[in-house]
A and B are shown apart, each in its own frame.
Chain A
Amino acid sequence: MKKTLISLGIALATMTVASQASVSIATQSYQEQIVNGSTQWVQAVKVVPGTTILYQNTLTNNDATTTADNLNIVNQIPTHMEYLDSTAACSVACTVTYSVDGGTTFDVPSNLYVGTGSTRRLAVASDYTTIKWLITTLNASATESVQYKARLQ
């Protein structure tokens, strides 16, 4: 019995739980609009080719007592959108990496290449397929956000 309980405890410790998450994530899109003479980001409604859209992912730790750590947010850049260079950001300290292979691997821009043989070159922002932000900790009841901008082709 004791051995069984210990085994079960170990199994629970290593199991990734897909439900009962205390951190939620919500995404929203914004576009620039002139409001009372000044440029503001408002919820995106009318998007036409060439529009820059700001995507913001908000993380909320719904647990009032527990800190979450090692938060990885992965966002595939939507089809027909081109990532705008150096626009990935976080509301707290974070590490940002990118993928050019659909999210299989991630690295910093200086290590990202596309093409093979004579056509191999350093990737540019429009080559990026996916963005990953890594936030170390999210305190209990805290809210933070990550964002990026992309242009509609």
Chain B
Amino acid sequence: MRVFIYFIALSVFSFSKGVSAGTVITNVAKLSYNISGLGFKASSNTVINIVDQVVDFDIICQESTNLLVEGGQKAVALTFKLTNVGNGTDKFTLFHETNASSNFSVSNPLIYIDSNKNGIFDIAKDKQVKDVNLSEDAQATLFIVSDIPKKALPTGSISTNGIHAVSALVDGLSYAQSKNIGSYFVVNGVTAGMDKAFCGYEIHSMQLLLKKSSTLSSDKLFTGTTIHYKIKVSVLGTGTINNVVINDNIPKKTSYIPNSLKLNDKSLSDAKHFLKNKISVPIGDITQTNTSKPIYFVTFDARVK
């Protein structure tokens, strides 16, 4: 939410930069004139205005979709970005908040700051925080780190978790109020001096997906037609499925074409992977994350008898 409301006017706009709070603005005018042919000069007083501080900040969830999780996962991070779009330094106190419409609650939610500024939560390097100081236009990446409950939850269950940030300067003032801080005023540009944003955890048990398709060497099936089989192997959900092995029987009334078995276009030994009219292709562990989604293709040919 970026809403800036003047203390004294009804204009509403947002900005990310402006003259810094405390800046001195001066105006002075010079006069020259004549009287009876003689020239004179005069100078006005100097009027001084000091730029007040506008408290305005954004907090935004950085997850493009709900983060897929499994029951029992530990220390799973949701990412947020907090930006000071006001014109002076402020301290923001941070609170975890769960949306009332959530299907489940997480355990041990803690807020961390991206201490090494790499955008990735690292429990060994990032620090747990309760507040953060930001100068004008500065940003901080924050994480809510939580444990997902072990109990069985239906796929699609969502827990919406957020960070609620409160400006220490504004200290609960309504947007129409301002207060004197030293030589200038602080004007509240954010409703009640606070803003919040939410991201979601979504339960999704991992599934191994297999999709088999075939193509023919001729328009129709005849004796001698070659059938090219393709098995697509992929994963649903995030995490690791261990020791994946693809087994498939050669269809009846067909015979396996020797040396046709491949994994991702790489030939496999018939001696190791074709036995008793069945192919067996070990793929191993498949790990899927929100940014890495591996896909495998097992292919082989058979001839119609």
Contacts and interface: CB of A to CB of B under 8 A. Distances in A.
B103 to A, nearest CB: 43
A26 B45 contact: yes
A78 interface: yes
A75 B44 CA distance: 10
A22 B35 contact: yes
Contacts of A48: 6-7, 18, 51-54, 87, 187
Contact of A50 (B18, B53, B178): B18
Contacts of B33: 21, 23, 68-72, 138
Most buried by B among A22, A51, A55: A51
B40 A23 contact: yes
Interface in A62-84: 63, 66-76, 78-81
Contacts of A74: 29-32
A146 B160 CA distance: 59
Interface in B11-66: 11, 13, 15, 17-19, 23, 25-47, 49-54
Given A49-B87, A66-B35, A21 B41 contact: yes
A12 B164 CA distance: 74
Contacts, number: 149
Nearest to A16: B39
Nearest to B87: A49
A126 to B, nearest CB: 14
Interface in A7-31: 12-13, 15-18, 20-29, 31
A152 B19 contact: yes
Consensus secondary structure, chain A interface: strand
Contacts of B40: 16-18, 20-23, 68
A46 B42 contact: no
Contacts of B43: 25
A20 B34 CA distance: 12
A56 B36 CA distance: 27
A118 to B, nearest CB: 29
Consensus secondary structure, chain B interface: strand
A47 B52 contact: yes
B185 interface: yes
B174 to A, nearest CB: 16
B19 A32 contact: no
B15 A68 contact: no
Given A46-B8, A47-B51, A73-B30, A17 B19 contact: no
A21 to B, nearest CB: 4
Contacts of B11: 50
Contacts of A55: 27, 47
Interface in B145-183: 178
A46 B19 contact: no
Given A16-B41, A46-B52, A50-B18, A23 B31 contact: yes
Contact of B19 (A49, A66, A68): A49
A19 B184 CA distance: 36
Interface string A116-141: 00000000000000000000001000
Most buried by B among A48, A55, A75: A48
A18 B51 CA distance: 33
A31 B17 CA distance: 21
B176 to A, nearest CB: 11
B271 interface: no
Given A25-B29, A48-B87, A32 B35 contact: no
A45 B255 CA distance: 92
A53 interface: yes
B124 interface: no
A33 interface: yes
A142 interface: no
A68 B37 contact: no
B44 A57 contact: yes
Interface of A: 12-13, 15-18, 20-29, 31-34, 39, 44-51, 53, 55, 57, 59, 63, 66-76, 78-81, 138, 152-153
5 contacts: A12-B38, A27-B44, A59-B31, A72-B33, A153-B19
